[in-house]
Amino acid sequence: MILREIEDRELVRRARRGDIESYNLLVSRWEKRVYNYLLRLVSDREDALDLAQEVFLKAYQNLGQLEDAARFGPWLFRIAHNEAFSLLRRRRPEGEPEGEPAEAGLRYRLYPVEMALAVERALNSLPVEQREAVILKIYQGLKFEEMAEALECPVSTVKSRLYTALDRLKELLAPVRASPS
C-alpha cells in the first residue's frame, strides 16, 4: 500500500507538470472504483459514467490545489461525492422525501440473483448519506479518516452514519440470509 501511495504521488507530480500519460495512468487505476462508487449512489450506468468523466476532468483541472499528492484517492472521492450529490439534488427537488430509486434497477450477474437484488433493494432503501458510507467502507475499503476527508465531515459523523446503516442492513438482510435457497 505504501508503494502504491508513492506511485500515485509520483504520477500526480508528473501530471502537474503536464504529463498527460501519467494522468491517464492515474485514471486507469482509479476509474473502476470511482465508477462503481457513483453507480451505487446514483443507480444508473449512464449517469455514473458521465459523472466519472466529469470527476476526472475536474480532478485534472484542480490538480494544483491538491495539497498532499499522496491523498489523491480521498480527494478524488470528495470530488465524486460533490458531483454525485449535485446530480441527486437535481433529480430530487428540495423537501421531496426519498423513495426507492428502483426503476433504474441494476442487474448483477452473480449467483444467487435474488440475494443480489435483495441487497440492492436494502441499500437503496437507506438514506443516501448512510448508503454512501456503506459504499465507501464496505465496497471501496476506505479507512474512517479517509472517509471523513472525502465527505468533509468529522470521523464521528462517518461512524454514526455507517453504524446506523449496518444496524438497518442487518435487520433488512436477515430474512434473506435465513431463507432457504
Partner 1 sequence: MSCANFDLKAYLLGELEPNRAAEMRAHLAACQECREEFERLELTRATLLVLRDEEIPRRIAFVCDAAPGGSWWRRLWAPGPRWAFASALVVSLAILVHGMLRSAPPPPTLDAAALEQRISAEVERRLQSSLRQALAEAESRQQERFQQALAVARQQWEFQRKADLLAVEENFNVLKKRMNVLQVHLASNWEGGVR
Residues near partner 1 (CB under 8 A) are 4, 7, 15-21, 23-25, 27-29, 31-33, 35-36, 39-40, 45, 49, 52-53, 56-57, 60-64, 108, 110, 112, 115-116, 119-120, 123, 134, 137-139, 143-144, 159, 162-163, 166, 169-170, 173-174, 176-178, 180-181
The 3-class secondary structure across 59-93, one letter per residue, is HHHCHHHCCCHHHHHHHHHHHHHHHHHHHHHHHCC
Q: Which is nearer to partner 1, 92 or 129 (CB)?
A: 129
Q: Which is nearer to partner 1, 93 or 107 (CB)?
A: 107
Q: Which is nearer to partner 1, 89 or 139 (CB)?
A: 139
Sign, CA dihedral 76-161-138-147, equals positive
Q: How far apart are CA 122 and CA 113, in angstroms?
A: 14
Using CB atoms within 10 Å of the CB of residue 56, give its burial: 0 to 12 exposed, 13 to 18 middle, 19+ buried. Answer: buried
Q: How far is the CB of 78 from partner 1 (least distance, A)?
A: 17
